[in-house]
Amino acid sequence: MHSSIEDFEMPNEEQVHLAAESFRLLADPTRIKVLWALLQGESSVACLAELAGAAPTAVSQHLAKLRLAGLVKGRREGTFVYYSAADHHVRRLLDQALFHADHLDRDLPDQSAASPSPH
């Protein structure tokens, strides 16, 4: 069946593994809140904890995992570390996930031509 589709290709094993790891790390509401906040601009752990409604130690642990996965980056300034989203791919990933969630939540029809805007 798929062999009849012109230019059909499956992603390679490394791509599949890395994508699955990113989705696994995003499968946490606190991490989604933290990433969304970081898409608005650079922030410290204390500020992110307040925005996400979580303890700073928990947010710090979440950030460490997100950093290892390449979803966030940190910049040290004196004794503080300021975090930001790693790149524009993180925004697109979250935009799509939240857009999809909004459609599920409100039972909206699929509008493939519409641009994602979760809010």
Q: What is the pLDDT of residues 28-40, one digit of tens each?
A: 999 999 999 999 9
Structure token pair of residue 65: 């995992």
CATH number of the domain that residue 59 is part of: 1.10.10.10
- Judge whether 36 lies within some domain: yes
Examine residue 61 and state whether it is found in any structural domain, yes or no: yes
- What is the count of structural domains for the chain? 1
69: in domain? yes
For residue 60, the enclosing domain spans 13-105
Whether residue 1 lies inside any domain: the answer is: no
Q: What is the pLDDT of residue 117?
A: 53
pLDDT band at 111 (very low <50, low <70, confident <90, very high): low
Residue 55 domain flag: yes
pLDDT in tens, 52-91: 999 999 999 999 999 988 999 999 999 999 999 999 999 9
Q: What is the pLDDT of residue 113?
A: 47
Is residue 81 a part of any domain in this protein? yes
DSSP 45-63: HHHHHHHHTS-HHHHHHHH
Note whether residue 114 is domain-resident: no
Q: Which amino acid is at 27?
A: A
| Average pLDDT estimate for 105-118 | 64
pLDDT of residue 6: 84
Examine residue 42 and state whether it is found in any structural domain, yes or no: yes
Task: Determine the Cα–Cα distance for residues 35 and 45; give it in Å rounded to an integer.
Answer: 12
Report the relative pairing of strands 72-77 and 80-85 from DSSP bridges. Answer: antiparallel
- Give the pLDDT confidence score for residue 7 in this predicted structure: 85
